[in-house]
Structure 1
Amino acid sequence: MLLACQSLLAYETFNFGQYALQAKSLDTEVVGTEKDELAKAQFNSGLGLAMSNSLFDINVDYLFKGHVEDAGDNDKGDLSQALSASMRSALLNDLLAVDANIQADSLIDVAGNAYHYAVTPGFSRSFYNLFDMDMAYNYRLVKPSDIHLLEETKGYSVGLNGSMDQGRLVWQGKYSDSDMFRDQALDVETTRLFDFTSSYRLIEDLSLELKGLIKNLTQFDNGSNQTENEKHFGAGFLWSPSEKYSFSLNLNQVNKSTDGNQDIFGGGKITWSPKPDLDLSLGYGDDLQDGSRGLMFSTKLDLDKI
């Protein structure tokens, strides 16, 4: 007899006043052999807890995933646990005129002795309906596997986005600064990144687009340091006279420097979308493939829109 059973998306919610508990069986599958032996089994099950009162809104989700497969002498198996939590206070947000929250995530691979922890508090605020500001702090502790070193990353980011001229000009920018330290090695990596994009609608169907990116990477390894700088600049336009087709042209330039050695690359791309589900593009670049110049023609078909 061949055994096979499967369950998908089974939920059960229990409400206790301001608390809500949800049991989840997201995906469970068991397959046997003709000898009633277990061939493979996999399951994704979890619990969710939500608490809401006049001061705080707290959500906690726990997910347990497992996979076991009979592969003869070398059986395969993997177990992992994921925990995520978020907290916000509508009362404090109203008093401070911000939208603040705290997000925490953890992922533990039981079989591979790997884990990933992250905590991200942040807030956003709108200023006079001109622009919004987002600020966040990020802390991560990552152990990819037994053979990899422990990595600790901490940093912050500040983002601004807004619009002017009755929505004709739309822009957004973000600055981030982070430091990564690898345990048991004198290796520190500092990354500073500034990213900016804007779009201005010249006429109803024609928009001008500008973008820029500046990246600074400094690595300290056993007393020596190496600095890499990148600058990306781009400009182009998008013409969409109809919802069914559009045409765009983009030009870009990249400046790369490593310890005083500088390289400059240019490129561009023309994209024509004769249908909403089809994109045809022709690109040129000085550094298209491993430092070589070239042309690239690509086709993108969105099956969901057919």
Structure 2
Amino acid sequence: MKPLFFKPTFQERIWGGTALRETFGYDIPSEKTGECWAISAHPNGPSVVENGPYAGKTLDELWKEHRELFGHAEGDVFPLLTKILDANEDLSVQVHPDDSYAKVHENGELGKTECWYIIDCKEDAEMIYGHNAKTKEELVRMMENGQWGDLLRRVKIKPGDFFYVPSGTIHALCQGTLVLETQQSSDTTYRVYDYDRTDANGNKRELHLEKAIDVTTVPHVDGVSHPSVEEKEHVTITTFVQAEFFSVYKWQVEGTSTFSMDRPFMLCSVINGGGALVHDGEEYDLEKGTHFLLPANIDEFTINGKCELIVSHI
């Protein structure tokens, strides 16, 4: 088995910009590009393999036809999705359902627990993370009265921060933020508040208040994340979270470091620097903005260079 490198797909958003081109050199479709779907098997933006015997295949095709690549992991759909988000403007305030609610209300779609690694952000940047309502009744009343300043909980952020965002958490990225997101493979979002913005035709985007109220955790509870750091030969491994749906790490490589695969598969994104991945006598270039999947039975591999990667697995 060989590492699988992917061609990302891009999504235009009302809040998007050009940071994906400026930071990673991507060929983005417009000046309003908000999302790079880097490793995705979701039908709204599947990733295409660029190398090896499966070149031209999409990740969802491989999940259906070659489950041996994934250690015969179970599930009808590939479970994870890696994105990079360019919040050139504020995102809408939103909340996501859990698996059980989405299964009933969203035609069997997965729920959406996610997490964010802050790649870059403007000075004094912030995000919306949680709310201040103590009861559902108070949540509804504050929403109906438009008390967004009192309701929404704002948190200061800086590059290198990590946030775990379980389903049921009201949240929003704010202007001037570049984020790598690891999430369940879902595209279900309930929009709570959109700053009364309008599109090019003067229309406001749809809100989903009834469903949002159904799924919001009240009172708010921060997602539990206790990062830990381990130093190995020429690599610093930060464990951000080990949770129900995914575990997420940062690898900071300086030199030559050897790794062992002990998972069915791993998703890897180079967010800074560069180098090479060496496996079974073959060398693969790693550049900033490269995304790849290590399939089952890779066993041992080496990374040479000076680079930072965000790595995840189920």
- Answer whether TM exceeds 0.5 for this pair: no
TM-score, normalised with respect to structure 2: 0.22
TM-score, normalised with respect to structure 1: 0.22
The answer to which structure has the higher strand fraction is: 1
